[in-house]
Every structure is written in C-alpha cells, then in structure tokens.
Amino acid sequence: MDVESLPGISAELGEGPLWDVGRQCLWFVDIMRGLVHRFDPAAGTDRVYEIGQPVSALACRARGDLVCAVRDGFARLDPETGAVTMIAAVEADNPRNRMNDGCVDARGRFWAGTMSMHHEREAGALYRLDPDGTVTRHLSGVTTSNGLDWSGDNRRMYYIDTGLPRIDVFDFDLEGGTLANRRAFVTIDPVEGKPDGMIVDAEDHVWVALWNGGCLHRYAPDGTRVSVVRLPTPLTTKPAFGGPDLLDLYVTSASIALSAEARAASPSAGALFRLRPGIRGRAPRLAK
C-alpha cells in the first residue's frame, strides 16, 4: 500500500500519535526535545507546544485540555494558551528515569510507564493516573514501558516492555482497574526489530511498530500475524488511526539513534507517515 511522508515534519524521537476526534487533528510528541505537535491534516499546518521537559504520551480530555506523560510525571496542557501544569509527580526520587508511552482505559484512567534514560534494565514501572489525581503503581521491574491498549470488550490489556522480545497480555478488571495473569501474546524475533508502540483496531487486531524493523505488524486476537506493512525508515515508533472516518493510519518515527550514514540512507527518518490500510480504527478514549 502507498505510504505518504507528510511534508514539513521531522522529529528527533517522534512518538505518541493520538487522534483528536473533536478537533479533527493529530497530536504527537518529539520526546527529548520536549515538544507536542498538533497536526491539522485539512489545513496542512503543524502547531508546536514547548513543554519544558521530555514529553512522551498524550490523552485528550472531554473538557478540552490534554493530559501528558512528562519526564517528571503527569501534567496538563492547555491547548489554547500552551500553559503546562503538573498534576502528579512520578518517581521524584529517581532523576535517572522518565515517563514513556501511555493510553487511556474505558473508565478514563491514564496508564503510562517509565524507563531509564541511562539504559538500565528493569528500572522502570507502569502507573495508573485516576481522575482524582491519584497515581498507583501496577508493575515494577520494567526495562522500557511502552505500548499498551485494550481489547474491545475491555477484558484484556496488551502491554509492551521493549526490554522483552514480545507483546504481553493481561486479564483486565475494568471496574477495579487491575491486572492479572500476565502471559505472552506474541513473541517477535529480534532480527525483525523491537516492539514499540501499539494500537488495537475496530476488528480487535493489534498493530505494533517495530523499532529497528521499519515496519508495522498486525496480529489477530489469537496471536496470528496477518500482515506486515513496510515503511521507508528503520525507527518506526507508534501507529494511530485517525481521519474523519478513522481509516487513516498515522505512524511516527525517529532519527535519534541513527548514524550519519544511516540518516543519509533514510532521509525520511523522523517523519510522520500516513497510509490507508483498509481497516478502521477506534476513537480514542477520553481521560477524565
């Protein structure tokens, strides 16, 4: 299928694409530069917000603002003024860590995890931010807390620790917001890349971007790989469905870990890509 590289966008570490149904725009981040992008596909414009620290994941709220996973924890972004205010600190006693990927569950709770900025294994964790600002740790011993999303019936939560060559799945208690019975959903051969960000589509299939793989894999609910989509750069980071019909698939990418030679060989590294796979996505859940 055709893969379009959207003009004028180049991220160092692009991540966290999120479709905003109300505004009909795509939000995404450039993590280490501390930037949040608001891309309007109809106008072809890209507004950039400076957060003041690394920012790795976003969630829209019904009241119009955004929740952000930032280096120091969870923060609020006012998209009209650009003002950033902290909601809750996370791991304030460990300045070697930062927040990474996140997603909202069907009760409006924002889940996001941490990772070491110094490549330390099992130094991170996974947290849940409740609407009242309470933060609860659910997993520890995580190397790189990354993509997560839920099945359509909310009974399973898919989760990636990029330090492991697989996507895991938990039994999920929606009312209590708790996890149980962790097991492997799929194992990915390291020669194909490392699992990074993910999303679940309207057919309950799991899409995952492969870091150092330059592609997306799509898996059926039973773990069968049903398709592979190649992209023109190796560091693909996360997919997100969007557009008025939720049939556009956006994919962020990075250039941060590429050598000068690799960057020359991959001029689209760090681009935002768009394709039409013929599969419909789900509208993102709103944080409360």
Count H helices and E strands in the chain, helices first: 1, 24
C-alpha distances out from residue 86 to 73, 167, 228, Å = 8, 31, 39
Active site residues: 196
How far is 212 from 258, CA to CA, in rounded Å?
10
Domain boundaries, the chain: 3-275
How far is 195 from 167, CA to CA, in rounded Å?
7
What does the pLDDT read at residue 267?
A: 92
pLDDT in tens, 79-129: 999 999 999 999 999 999 999 999 999 999 999 999 999 999 999 999 999
pLDDT mean over 59-84: 97
What does the pLDDT read at residue 287?
A: 98
CB proximity list for 199: less than 8 A, separation 6 or greater: 147, 149, 206, 207, 238, 239, 240, 241, 281
pLDDT mean over 170-191: 98
pLDDT mean over 59-69: 96
What are residue 262's phi and psi, to 5 degrees? -65, -35
When the pLDDT of each residue in the chain is averaged and rounded to a whole number, the result is 97
Task: Check pLDDT > 90 for residue 159.
Answer: yes
pLDDT mean over 140-146: 98
pLDDT in tens, 160-175: 999 999 999 999 999 9
How far is 256 from 153, CA to CA, in rounded Å?
37
pLDDT in tens, 18-54: 999 999 999 999 999 999 999 999 999 999 999 999 9
Q: Hey, which bits of 78-205 come out as E strands?
A: 84-89, 97-104, 110-116, 124-129, 135-142, 145-150, 156-161, 166-173, 178-187, 194-200
Query: Binning pLDDT at 50, 70 and 90, where does residue 1 land?
Result: confident
Q: For the chain, what percent of residues have pLDDT higher than 70?
A: 100
What does the pLDDT read at residue 257?
A: 85
pLDDT in tens, 208-242: 999 999 999 999 999 999 999 999 999 999 999 99
Task: Check pLDDT > 90 for residue 10.
Answer: yes
Query: Binning pLDDT at 50, 70 and 90, where does residue 194 land?
Result: very high
What are residue 273's phi and psi, to 5 degrees? -105, 155
Owner of token pair 């069968």:
224
Return the higher-pLDDT residue of 260 and 195.
195
For 3-275, CATH gives: 2.120.10.30
Return the higher-pLDDT residue of 1 and 105.
105
